[in-house]
Amino acid sequence: MNLTVDRVSKSFGNKSALTDISLEFTTGVYGILGANGSGKTTFMRIVASVMKPSSGKVLLNGQDIAALDHQYRELIGYLPQQVGMYPNFTAEKFLSYIAALKGLSRTEAQAKVNEVLELVKLSDHRKEKVGKFSGGMTRRIGIAQALLNDPQILIVDEPTAGLDPKERIRFRNLLSQISADRIVLLSTHIVSDIELIAKEILVLKGGRLIRKDTPRELLKPIEGKVWSLLVDETGVSTFQAKYRVEAIARIRDQFQLRIISETKPHPDAVNEDPNLEDLYLHYFDEEVVV
């Protein structure tokens, strides 16, 4: 399976949200990383075929998805950033309802609902109202509904926003498991969500695709430039004034700084392995959500 994005641009009025995006997807997880407003949702909506590009096209195995129309939509599972739930429906009823909307027969639906509930580990909660679910459970039922039609292409927009670390790990494992024979596109501004599971990471900035690479290749530009250094309280402000200080951890009465710098910031500074959090700072020069 090959999904090709060919010179896609999107404008809203005279505002350009995406500019000339071209790339290819095969099976696996692709992480779409970008700050707020960088065009992640617009990109995913276009690939999910719920929005048309202003120019350019998306091709599935060489065929324009606009021409494939419902044949293409049947292959898509989409979890939007904001999901409309039916708070008074039980998990089971909600999924049966969505299955009916997706055109599954009653018997098909029953089997499929059981299967996806099991996959997202919500079988024990099938009789509970979705309005009472925790953030993590809500996201998992969101994925469950997106999987009802056994999609070849799963598109999930910022699924981990608002989840606690334990729920995020669980969710990450679930997506990794699902991606074995599908294309999974996952957008996030939380780097650790995708660092471990993404085959490739796309970095969007101001509507442009500025990088597309494996996590390992992406880290190359900052290799050897991440340092840690233990300082006292006055050292914190001294180094913050001179360097890009990414993180500060208190260790008893001292402070461990994580600094990104081309040169060694202090004779006692120690080189650290870069992670994508460092990279995010390198590209976006802003606080990282972890």
Q: Which residues are at the interface with ligand ADP (CB under 6 A)?
A: 12, 15, 17, 34, 36-42
Which range of residues in 39-47, 62-70, 114-122, 211-219 is near Mg ion by CB under 5 A? 39-47
Alpha helical stretches, state H, 181-267: 192-195, 215-219, 233-242
Helix (H) or strand (E) holding 28: strand 28-33
What are the backbone angles phi and psi of residue 279, rounded to the nearest 5°? -65, -40
CB 42 within 8 A of CB 18: yes
Residue type, 4: T
Minimum Å distance from CB 189 to ligand ADP? 8
What is the C-alpha separation between 257 and 250, in angstroms, rounded?
Answer: 9
Minimum Å distance from CB 285 to ligand ADP? 17
Position 41 contacts Mg ion (CB under 5 A): yes
Minimum Å distance from CB 28 to ligand ADP? 22
Residue 219, number of CB atoms within 10 A of its CB: 19
Which CB, 40 or 112, lies closer to Mg ion?
A: 40
Minimum Å distance from CB 7 to Mg ion? 22
What CA dihedral angle connects 88, 92, 94 and 97, to 10 degrees?
Answer: -130
The DSSP letter of residue 113 is H
Minimum Å distance from CB 34 to Mg ion? 9
Which CB, 15 or 106, lies closer to ligand ADP?
A: 15
Position 38 contacts Mg ion (CB under 5 A): no
The DSSP letter of residue 243 is S
Answer with the entry of Mg ion, ligand ADP, none that 38 interacts with (C-beta below 5 to 8 A by kind): ligand ADP
Q: Strands 270-271 and 226-231: what pairing?
A: antiparallel
Minimum Å distance from CB 15 to ligand ADP? 6
Which CB, 154 or 231, lies closer to Mg ion?
A: 154
Which CB, 15 or 127, lies closer to ligand ADP?
A: 15
Minimum Å distance from CB 280 to Mg ion? 16
Which CB, 149 or 188, lies closer to ligand ADP?
A: 188
Lookup: tokens for 99:
């299955």
Answer with the entry of ligand ADP, Mg ion, none that 36 interacts with (C-beta below 5 to 8 A by kind): ligand ADP
Which CB, 39 or 159, lies closer to ligand ADP?
A: 39
Q: Strands 183-188 and 153-157: what pairing?
A: parallel
Q: Please provide the distance, in angstroms rounded to a whole number, between the alpha carbons at the two ends of the chain.
A: 33
How many helices (H) and strands (E) are present in the chain, helices listed first?
11, 14
Answer with the entry of ligand ADP, Mg ion, none that 37 interacts with (C-beta below 5 to 8 A by kind): ligand ADP
Residues forming the site for Mg ion (CB under 5 A): 40-41
